Structure 1
Amino acid sequence: MATIDRHASTLALAHALSAAERRLAVIPLSRTKLPALRSPHHDDPGTAGPCHGACGRLGHGVYDASTDPRRVRELFAAAPWATGYGIACGLPPHHLIGVDLDTKSGADASAALRELALRHLFTIPETVVVTTPSGGRHIWLAGPPDTVVPNSAGRLAPGIDIRGAGGYLVGPGSRTEHGVYGTVPGTAQLPPAPCPPALLRLLTPPPRARHAAPPQAAPEPAQQGHGLVQFVLAAHEGQRNTRLFWAACRAYENGIGETLAPHLTDAALRVGLTHREARSTIASAARLTGHA
C-alpha cells in the first residue's frame, strides 16, 4: 500500500484547487508523476475497448480531470497518497499546450527552441513557466479551440517534448520522488499565452491529401527561390538579418542554397546590410542546416 504523507497530500490538494479556480482541469498524481488512481478496468480482461470514464468510476487518468472543486476533492479523497497533481492539456477554456524542455536527454533543449524560433520567425510570449526538479522547464501556451495538438517526444527537436490533447503537465507545487515543481518568478499568475501561429504549425501534423497530385516538372532554382528573395527585399530595419537568415535556411533545406545565395546577398545589400553581414548570415544558415 502506498505510504501516505499527510502534509504533502494536503499541499497537493491546495495547489490543485488553486489551479481549478483558474479553470485548469486537474487530477491527483503519485510521487512517480503517474495518475494516483489505478484504472478500475485493470483486472477486467473482458472490457471491450478503452473506457474514458463512461463507467462512472474513478481511475481514468486525464479523463477524470475536473475544474469542479467538489470533484477535485473527491479525486484526492480517493487517493490520499497523492503528493502532486496533473493539469490536463487540450481542454477548454485554455486548450493548454505544454512545451517540455528536458535536460535529462543531454540535449540543450532551450538552445534548440531558440533556433526554431529564429528559423521560423516566432517568439515565445510571456507566460507561465514551470521549473522541474531536474532543471528542465515547462512552458504553458494556449491553443485555439479548433486545433488538436498531439503529444510528441523529440519530434520538434531533441529534448523538446510536447504535451497536447490526452496528455498532462505536472502542476507547480507537486512533490515527486526527485523534488518539487515550482514556477519561474513573475510567471505564476500569468494566464497561458496564445501559442504563436508559426509554432502551432510545427506542432500540428499536416492534413492528409485526399488525392495524389499529378507529377509536375520541378521549377527552376531561380524561380523556386523568387519568393525567398522577395521576402528579404520586404525587410524593414531591425528585421533584415532575421529575414535573410530565415530565407537562407529555407533555401538550403530545399537544395537551392548555393544557387540562391548570390541573389539573397544582392537583396540583403539592397535593404541596407553590408556585404560582410550578408555573407556571415548566409554562412550561419548553411551551418545550421548542415550545408557548411
Structure 2
Amino acid sequence: MAQSTALLKAALDAAARGWPVFPLRPGDKRPALHGETACPGTGECADGHAKWEQRATTDPDRIRRAWSAGAFNIGLATGPSGLLVVDLDQVKAKDGKGTPDGVSSFAALCERAGQPVPTTYRVRTAGGGEHLYFWVHRAIRMPSSKGRLAPKIDTRAWGGYVVAPGSIVGGTTYEVNPAPVAELPTWLMLALQAEPKPARPAAVALPRLGNRRAEVALERERVAVAGAQEGGREAELFRAARAMGRFVAWGEIARHVVEEAFQSAAESTGLPASQCRSTLRSALDWSIRTARPRETA
C-alpha cells in the first residue's frame, strides 16, 4: 500500500508540472495500457485505438482512478510535455570493448561543441544511467532519436516516453536531482536537427529456409520498414509484420527470423526498441491467428 501511495504521489507530482503521464506495468518499463489488437473500441478509443501518447493525462482524477488499480510505474509522454529528455545509458555486456557510456559520450559531445555540460533536472535511472530533461518550445516538434548524437545517447521527445522519477524497476527507484528544467541548448537542438548521413538499411543475414517466396517477401518488407519516414514508421512496421505473419503461420519462415529482421530495421529509423517489440508482437499475433490456409490465400 505504501508503494502504491508513493507511486500515485509521483504521478500527481509529474502531472502538476504539466507533464502528461500514463501507467506502466508494476516494476517494469512497458505500458500497462491495452494494445491495438485488444482494443475495446470504447471510451477514448471510440474513434479508433488511442495509443499511450494520446491517452497520457494531467487530470488528477483520472490519475487517481488509474493508480488505485495497482502499483503502476509512471510513463511520462515527453512530446506532449514540451520536453526532450537526453537518455545517457550505461555500457552493457553485449557492447563492444571500449564502448564509452552515455555520460562520457555526452561530456565529449559538449567539449567538441565548446559548451559546458548543461545544468538541468536530472533523473538517475534504475540501470545506473541518467535522464537529462530540457524544455522545448511546443511549436518545435522534435522527434525521438536513437544513437544519433553519439554512442549510448538516445533522446525522447515526440513519439517517445521516459520512466518518470519515483518509478521502481528491479527494486531500484528512479531518483531525481531537482534542479530547474533548462531550455534545450541551441547547439544541441541544431545537432539533433542536422541531416544525418545517408545510411544503408540494417542488413540481417537470413538463413536459407528452402522457401524463396518467404525470403524475398521478408527482404522487400524489411527494406520498406528501414526506409519509413518520421510520422509513419510504426504504421509501416505494423503493416509489414502483418504481411509476413501469414508466412509464419504457413511454416515457410520462422517467427524469430521475421522479428529479428524487422526489429533491426525499425530501430535503425529511430523507433525505441520496446516500441518495436510491442508493435511486432501484436501485429504478428494477429496475422498468425487470422491467416487463411495457404491453399485458399
TM category (shorter chain) comes to 0.5 to 0.7
- Note the 1:243-282 alignment, pairs <5 A: none
* Paired position in structure 2 for 1:259: none
Q: In 2, are the aligned partners of 1:103 and 1:159 still within 8 Å (CA)? A: yes
Which digits, 9 at most, give the CA deviation of each residue in 1:49-93, with x for residues without a partner?
xx9x5527997322211111112223324x4241x101111225x
Tell me, in whole angstroms, the C-alpha distance in 2 between the residues paired with 1:119 and 1:57: 46
* Paired position in structure 1 for 2:14: 19
**1:156 alignment partner, SS class:** strand
Structure 1 residue 33: Cα displacement: 0.8
Q: In 1, are the aligned partners of 2:39 and 2:45 still within 8 Å (CA)? A: no
Q: In 1, are the aligned partners of 2:89 and 2:130 still within 8 Å (CA)? A: yes
Gaps in structure 1 of 5+ consecutive residues: 1-5, 208-292
Tell me, in whole angstroms, the C-alpha distance in 2 between the residues paired with 1:205 and 1:91: 23
Tell me, in whole angstroms, the C-alpha distance in 2 between the residues paired with 1:18 and 1:64: 18
TM-score normalized by structure 1?
Answer: 0.58
**2:30 alignment partner, SS class:** coil
AA at the equivalent of 2:170: E
Pairing 1:122–2:115 present: yes
Structure 1 residue 116: Cα displacement: 1.1
Q: In 2, are the aligned partners of 1:150 and 1:203 still within 8 Å (CA)? A: no
Q: In 2, are the aligned partners of 1:12 and 1:173 still within 8 Å (CA)? A: yes
Tell me, in whole angstroms, the C-alpha distance in 2 between the residues paired with 1:159 and 1:56: 38
Which digits, 9 at most, give the CA deviation of each residue in 1:230-280, with x for residues without a partner?
xxxxxxxxxxxxxxxxxxxxxxxxxxxxxxxxxxxxxxxxxxxxxxxxxxx
* Paired position in structure 2 for 1:110: 103
Alpha-carbon distance change, 159 to 178 in structure 1, aligned in 2, over 3 angstroms: farther
Tell me, in whole angstroms, the C-alpha distance in 2 between the residues paired with 1:22 and 1:44: 30
Structure 1 residue 138: Cα displacement: 0.4
* Paired position in structure 1 for 2:63: 72
Alpha-carbon distance change, 44 to 73 in structure 1, aligned in 2, over 3 angstroms: closer
* Paired position in structure 2 for 1:191: 180
Number of equivalent positions: 189
Tell me, in whole angstroms, the C-alpha distance in 2 between the residues paired with 1:58 and 1:85: 21
- Note the 1:107-186 alignment, pairs <5 A: 107-184=100-177
- Deviating runs (4+, > 6 A) in structure 1? 56-59
* Paired position in structure 1 for 2:78: 89
**1:172 alignment partner, SS class:** coil
What do you get for the CA RMSD once the two structures are aligned? Answer: 2.8
Structure with the higher helix share, 1 or 2: 2
AA at the equivalent of 1:75: A
TM-score normalized by structure 2?
Answer: 0.57
AA at the equivalent of 2:80: L
Structure 1 residue 113: Cα displacement: 0.9
Q: In 2, are the aligned partners of 1:104 and 1:134 still within 8 Å (CA)? A: no
Structure 1 residue 170: Cα displacement: 0.9
* Paired position in structure 2 for 1:37: 33
Gaps in structure 2 of 5+ consecutive residues: 93-98, 197-297
Between structure 1 and structure 2, the one with the greater Rg is: 1
Q: In 2, are the aligned partners of 1:122 and 1:199 still within 8 Å (CA)? A: no
Alpha-carbon distance change, 145 to 179 in structure 1, aligned in 2, over 3 angstroms: same
